[in-house]
Structure 1
Amino acid sequence: MMVASFLVGICLALSQHLLYANLHHKSMDDEGEKVRMVLYGRAFAYFSKIAFGGCCILVFRQRIWRTFRSSALSVLSIDQLFLATEDPSLFVNWETISNAPLAVAMALVIWLIPLATIIFSPGALSFGWYQETGSANISVPNLNFSMESYADWRTPIQMADGTKKRQLMFYNTTDMKQEEEGWFDYFDQPSSDLTRVSLMTAYSLVDHPLNRPDARIKSCGGNYNCTYTASFVGPGYKCEMVANGPEDDAKLAELGAPFNTSELIPRGQHVYLSDVDKGEYNKPQYDQLGEGGKPNGTIPDGLGVFKAEPVLWIGYSINSTVKLAPDDPLAKNWTARYDPHIFRCIHYETKYTIKYNYTDFAFTMETEYEYLSPIVDTNFTLSDNGTVDYNNPSPAANYVSPRTDVPRYKKVAAYHAMGQSLREFLRGKIELTPELPKGPSFARVDSEIAQTTLVSNMTSTPTEDLPDKLQRFYGDMLLSLFSAPKMLVVSETMAEVQRSRFQSTFIYSPAKLWGCYAPVIFFTLIILLMGAWTIHQDGTTFSVGFSRIMVTTRNQTLDDISRGACLGNDPFPMELMHTKLQFGVLNDYGELEYIGQDGLQGVGHCAFGVPSEVSFIQRGVPYAGLRRRPERRITGVQKEKTD
């Protein structure tokens, strides 16, 4: 029973550990389920207390009988030892502490086991905020402009909710019914959905693209914070600074720029000047168009052909805040030096590699650009007199026609629609009146760019890093298509998502649990070994049941000194309580002896008595009332002993 109790206690402690380990970092929304799990753990703790405590109690019972044999104790101390698991008064009785230190120590362990198991061990499982981290391969939103290559506006793609996918542009056609030989569709203008997204991006005045409200849930695969990297191929403007500072016009002339730094402040009047329409796709493509954009009469050969993409020429001036010298000619109009800059941007097919970071309700992006090739790889011809022919770029072999490579034409049309949406904001100029002699200086705005983040909302003048910011602004315009998931180019791709989230979960600390159980197991094992050794020393086991008390108190001396106190009532006679008794072999007893079949007389009776009338019990001697070997079993012959 001792060993079984000890092993059951260890099994119950392991069961509590396994339950808590299974609950570790597990979130439960059902409050009833949470309570049940906590109660299960406490049940294991309670039953382990019973098992370990039961083992210690069994050993304690053996040990007190060894104590009663070796030391004479007062009836009070004997009472306290028998009631040690119920009455802690033995811990303040010096007689029990000095004469039965091992038994008192065992009793102390029995009292402390519930403290460690029932009270402290459930504290190893608690609730708290846990940052769950990991990775998952999930489908994330992405852009796929190739979807436009094979889309047919006559039969739009339907989504699961019954709505239709929206394209980036509107088409004209030479035959609505697709019956005439050689019919084809050709680009007309950006779609209203693209125009809406572009306007919202520009007017939002934030330095990041628009996104759908549930973007984090969709991108992270749930209520997580996450980071992941995705790439796609789309349109992008590659910008190159051509002129820095006043009169830096040599390269401008070589490239056929439509203006030079003389038109920019401080020599000119413009703080911002742009030319973004040279070589633009004509709208309409033909003067006389019928139903659906079909030309009246013969269809021109160049109808709908993309010959070039307009080059963006943009000039701007930045206030350097460097004060002008009084003798500087520009000091009559300006107090600080203005630095003019002119750059050009060419429309490229671009590979975007973007690292997305969703944290709570905000997100950031780190974008890398890889410019692949010009969308329409043609150049405008520069004549000897410095003028540029924008009507016939070369080489003609690189024109993109709707009659030949239709998928490529549709993709180029989508790119062109995006670029045209951007150019709507860049077109125009901003003039700045001089500070002197009348002042004050103020901007006269004639461009939609003033409604974007490309212009300071404090001074209404372009930002200092305008070329880089324009490239990012265009990228944000593309990525803002995510805010309109019904757009055809919005698709999905698989990505490895690194994600994390804070959630209220069970938190299990094995160190706390085993910090409670380790001393219990250790001291219980020591007590168990002591119990085994005690049984080995005694050669038998003991109990504290009524029958055992009855037979160990069959002593005429005890009958004499306990007269008048047989009710077991309180208060008990103090004289009797302080009488010292010891358990041993009575030296003089008036009981019947037992004679076995071999004719040997029984050697005596073991009972409590005063120290002067008992002697030590010897291991292995078959005292009366103790089990003997079968061949020594009593047959029943009796005789009365006389004095």
Structure 2
Amino acid sequence: MAQQFRRKPVGGSPIYEPLPVKPAISSHISEVSEPSYTSSFLHAPGSHDEVPESRVVSGYHSNGEKASIPRQKPTKWGIHWRKPTFIVSMLLLGLGLSLGHHFYYSWMNNQVTGDASRQAWPTRIGTGLAFLVTSFLKAATMTSLGQYIWTVVKRQPLTMSSLDRLFSLSTDPLGLFYWELMKSAKIALFLGLIVWLLGLASVAPSATLTVVAQNITGTASVATLDWSLAIWSGETTRWIETLAPNTVAVRAANDINVVPLPAPVNATEWSYDLQFFGPSLQCAVANSTEQVVFDNVTGTMAQQDNLFTYTKITNKDYSANTANRLLWSVWSTWFGIGAPNSDWIPRILEYGVYDAYIMPQIWVQTSTQGIVCNAVNSSFDVTISFKDGMQQIIQNNIQILGNYSTPYVTITDLEPGGENSDEGGTQEVQYSPYLPHLYAIGTILAGNVSLDNVVDSDQYGNQEYAATIDSNMMTTGLTACDDIVNSPFKSLAESNASPNSTVVFMNTFPSTPWMCRNKTLIAAIQDLANNITISYLSSPQMTGNKTVLKTIQTSNTVNKYQYHPFYLFVSYGLALLFSFIAALVGFYSIFLNGVSHSMSFSAIVAATRNSELDALTGRSSLGADPMQPENESLRLKLGPLLDVDELKYTGVDPNLGERGPHVAFGLENNVGRLRKGEIYS
């Protein structure tokens, strides 16, 4: 018979005395029940100063009616589907929502944001999805941690303080730094660390969708050159001042830039890329064969016109005081009839160099070197933009494709007396739609620029050389190139010049380096030819109705969503990886345990039904924190309880059928080894 006691009123000394106990009733129910060791405390009616009595209710209900207590069955080993299913479900939900988060943001990418209220919703939804993803993964990890905790407490004894921290790893991070757990439960601490760090996975993903101001882009038709127009073939041999290629070329040369092109869209700033084919020049210093021609021409100039290059003056020992100094001379047999400053060009034929002109070329003689420029076909890749009130042309790539062909064609109605004409008849002449470009640039380059052998004074009294200028090149930026401003004639004084001949020369040709955009004369001539070709796009007479559809970026902006998935993939990827590792540990723990454990109150109660623990923790029955200091160092373990006196399993009653010992937490020396598959009560 169990002893029952009544505690003295509050404030009295802790002395207990026996209470009357009902007679045992096991004989009344022996056929349908087994002894019960459960006791309850009932508060005495009408008494507020006493602790409730303990009553045995093993045979009767509290109202006195007879209770039918079924025979207690032994514990069944087996893994219930609920915990494994829960872990898998949480992982799948976390994976599914993380993919959903990515697909949602991908769908929002490059969409117009709208007003402030609409802008906020994607961030709110993203934050919610990130919270749910980490919550599901955290639930799977915590459940796996719970399964592994039961593996730890079965495997080895731990102090009660360590058990407290072990069972509260998911709610109290201080357990992660407890020394005994570091030695005995490293994997549990690893899983607990995952639980606490999973929240970080929700920080970055919601911020991977941002709002940026993007320039509005659209498509528009832009003009391109139409080489089939009559303007490229109507006059194949004659230069006409008012013809569009000539007027555009002169303007581009004088402006030292591309002629402004029409705006394709209504915006303060815009840009687009354009690719097309067109004529250009490819220039190089004369080779040995070509230099023979230059020597013949400059030699004749020296003899007939008293016009010398610097080499001719120094080598022939002509007096610098009497010689006229050649700075610039350009000729070509391919210039159109009637081109300015080309009336002396036919004299070149008298120098015996006609056979040198096979392909369309321009010959340039400076004071020190000869340059030959071949007319070529090129592909143009340019970016045309308008910004800060100015047009900007970026030459991305201009690739020379080779010399363009000049086949013979038959023309009629030639001007009587014109070259290659037969008094108004028909004649075959060489033709290419690119020839007007050669005529146009020839208008600018042709002719001579030289210094006379005298010195004058300008209107301000500054001494300068008297110059003979029969070329439009003086209106271009070519005068600022090194070949001109740094000519050796710069330091060659005249008899009546001031002692500082360099100053006199610079007064004649002021140095403005920015005008020669590519520094050297060769590059500057090619640049001028390219600018003229690009400037043709400004004239409807040379583009006609030919257009191409281009993507144009404007200065007008619109707010759009921009998605950067990298940090979303990193955050969710790491969270899923560590949660999956935790799940593997959880499944392995379930397999080792033989059952799926719970961290619920009923599970803890079932595992602590040990009278020895009741006696040890009686003073802590309120569950207050912290526990009694003398209990912290007690080492407990989960296993089948042993009889303290006989060190054998307790709870075996042969009259109640097949039963095994009771499993619960107990002092490490008072519990046996828990083996999966054995019979326990």
Fold match (TM-score > 0.5):
yes
Please report how far the alpha carbon of residue 203 of structure 1 lies from its aligned counterpart in structure 2 after TM superposition.
1.6
- 1:60 and 2:145 matched: yes
CA contact (8 A) 1:265 1:340 kept: no
Per the normalisation by structure 2, the TM-score is 0.55
- Where do 1:26-45 residues align within 5 Å? 43-45=128-130
Q: 1:142 aligns with which of 208, 224, 229?
A: 224
Q: Is residue 324 of structure 1 aligned with residue 314 of structure 2? A: yes
Name the SS for the 1:354 alignment partner: strand
1:85, CA displacement in angstroms?
1.0
Note the alpha carbon deviations across 1:130-169, whole angstroms, 9 max, x for none. 9xxxxx99966322254448xxxxxxxxxxxxxxxxx999
Does the 8 Å contact 2:537/2:543 carry over to 1?
no
Match of 1:451 among 450, 459, 475: 475
1:268 maps to amino acid: D
Asked whether the 8 Å contact 2:331–2:447 carries over to 1, the reply is no
> Structure 2 residue aligned with 1:393, among 415, 421, 426?
421
Give how far 1:84 is off: 0.3
CA distance in 1, matches of 2:122, 2:163: 44
Shift of 1:587: 3.4
Q: Residue 22 and residue 437 in structure 1: after superposition, are their counterparts in 2 closer, same or farther (change >3 A)?
A: closer
8 A contact 2:225–2:543 mirrored in 1: yes
Matches within 5 A, 1:175-254: 197-206=248-257, 209-212=258-261, 214=263, 223=271, 226=273, 228=275, 230-231=276-277, 244=293, 248=296
> What residue is the counterpart of 1:619 in the other structure?
676
SS at match of 1:584: strand
Question: What TM-score does the superposition give when structure 1 sets the normalisation length?
Answer: 0.57
Q: Which amino acid aligns with 2:406?
A: L
The question of whether the paired residues in 2 share the 8 Å contact of 1:80 and 1:87 is answered with yes
> Which amino acid is 1:8 matched to?
L
Aligned-pair CA distance for 1:541:
1.5
- Once residues 588 and 467 of structure 1 are traced to their aligned partners in structure 2, the CA distance between those partners, rounded to angstroms, is 109
> Do the aligned partners of 1:324 and 1:337 also contact (CA within 8 Å) in 2?
no
Contact between 1:121 and 1:516, CA under 8 Å: does it hold in 2?
Answer: yes
How far 1:567 sits from its partner (Å)? 2.4
Match of 1:118 in 2: 202
The C-alpha deviation readout for 1:322-346, integer Å capped at 9, x for no partner, is 7626x83444424978797653324
The answer to whether residue 182 in structure 2 is matched with residue 100 in structure 1 is no
* 1:370 maps to 2:404: yes
Question: Match for 1:358 among 383, 399, 409?
Answer: 383
Question: What's the counterpart of residue 277 of structure 1?
Answer: none
**1:75 and 1:581 in contact (8 A); partners too:** yes
Any conservation in 2 of the 1:565–1:572 contact (CA below 8 Å)?
yes
CA offset at residue 99 of structure 1? 3.0
Q: CA deviation at 1:79?
A: 0.9
Question: Contact 1:74/1:579 (CA < 8 Å) preserved in 2?
Answer: yes
Tell me the secondary structure at the aligned position of residue 393 of structure 1. Answer: coil
Measured after TM superposition, the shift of residue 261 of structure 1 is 7.4
**Change in CA separation of 1:398 and 1:318 when aligned onto 2, cut-off 3 Å:** farther
Residue 9 of structure 1 deviates from its aligned partner by 3.4
The CA distance in 1 between the partners of 2:384 and 2:222, in whole Å, is: 16
Question: For residue 372 of structure 1, what is the amino acid of its counterpart?
Answer: T
Query: How far does residue 355 in structure 1 lie from its aligned partner after superposition?
Result: 1.9
Letter aligned with residue 394 of structure 2: F
For 1:455 and 1:265, locate their aligned partners in 2 and report how far apart those are by CA, in whole Å.
Answer: 23
| 2:451 equivalent among 432, 437, 449 | 432
Asked whether 1:489 is paired with 2:543, we answer yes
Among 585, 598, 619, which residue is 1:530 paired with? 585
- Paired with 1:528 and 1:426, the residues of 2 have a C-alpha distance of 83
Match of 2:333 in 1: 344
Among all aligned residue pairs of Structure 1 and Structure 2, give the percentage whose two residues are the same amino acid. Answer: 18
Q: Tell me whether 359-368 or 197-206 shows the greater mean CA deviation.
A: 359-368
RMSD: 5.9
Q: For 1:473-518, what per-residue CA distance to the aligned partner results, in whole angstroms no more than 9, with x for missing partners?
A: 567445423224x446344355999x9xxx99957575x7666566
**Following superposition of structure 1 onto structure 2, how do residues 511-550 of structure 1 map, counting pairs within 5 Å?**
520-550=575-605
Provide the rounded CA distance (Å) in 2 between the counterparts of 1:421 and 1:51: 76
C-alpha spacing 1:559/1:448, structure 2 compared with 1 (3 Å): same
**Preserved contact between residue 652 and residue 661 of structure 2 (Cα < 8 Å):** no
| SS of 1:61 mapped into structure 2 | helix
Out of 541, 544, 551, the position equivalent to 2:606 is 551
* CA displacement at 1:451 relative to structure 2: 1.5
Flag the 1:581–1:128 CA change in 2: closer, same or farther, 3 A: same
Matches of 1:415 and 1:98 in 2, distance apart? 88
For residues 376 and 230 of structure 2, the distance between their equivalents in structure 1, rounded to whole angstroms, comes to 17
Say if 2:611 is the partner of 1:577: no
**For residue 19 of structure 2, what is the aligned residue in structure 1?**
none
Report the CA distance shift for 1:515/1:418 in structure 2 as closer, same or farther (over 3 A). closer
Determine whether 1:564 maps to 2:619: yes
2:82 aligns with: none
Partner Cα distance (1:375, 1:454) in 2: 35
Q: Is the Cα–Cα contact under 8 Å of residues 334 and 439 in structure 2 kept in the other structure? A: no
Shift of 1:93: 2.2
Summarize the Cα distance change of 1:341–1:607 in structure 2 as closer, same or farther, 3 Å threshold.
Answer: closer
1:543 CA displacement = 1.0
C-alpha distance 266-330 of structure 1, shift in aligned 2 (>3 A): farther
| Aligned residue identity for 2:259 | L
Aligned partners of 1:55 and 1:518: how far apart in 2? 15
Contact 1:586 1:604 in 2 (8 A): yes
The runs of 5 or more residues in structure 1 that have no matched partner are 131-135, 150-166, 170-186, 250-259, 271-316, 382-387, 401-410, 625-643
Distance 1:83 1:605, change over 3 A: same
Cα drift, residue 604 of structure 1: 3.9
Distance in 2, matches of 1:261 and 1:123, equals 78
One-letter amino acid of the counterpart of residue 673, structure 2: F
Cα distance, 1:370 vs structure 2: 1.0
Give 1:193 shift.
7.4
8 Å Cα contact 1:351/1:371 also seen in 2 = no
Q: Per the alignment, do residues 513 and 318 of structure 1 end up closer, same or farther by CA in structure 2, a change over 3 Å counting?
A: farther
Q: Give 5+ residue unaligned stretches, structure 2.
A: 1-85, 282-288, 337-359, 361-374, 386-391, 458-462, 486-507, 511-515, 554-558, 645-649
Q: For 1:603 and 1:472, how far apart are their aligned partners in 2? A: 101
Contact 1:318 1:340 in 2 (8 A): no
Do the aligned partners of 1:332 and 1:436 also contact (CA within 8 Å) in 2?
no
Change (3 A) 1:618 1:83: same
Q: Give the superposition deviation at 1:554.
A: 2.7
Q: How does 1:304-323 map to 2 (within 5 A)?
A: 319-320=310-311
In structure 2, distance between residues paired with 1:570 and 1:490: 92
| 1:75, distance to aligned residue in structure 2 (A) | 1.8
Are the counterparts in 1 of residues 151 and 589 from structure 2 also a CA contact under 8 Å? yes
Q: Distance in 1 between matches of 2:521 and 2:636?
A: 105
Q: Deviations over 1:165-215 (max 9, x none)?
A: xx999xxxxxxxxxxxxxxxxx99766977864553232024xx3242658
Deviation at 1:64, TM superposition (A): 1.5
Cα shift readout 1:345-378 (whole Å, capped 9, x = no counterpart): 2448x98443223287332244555142478769
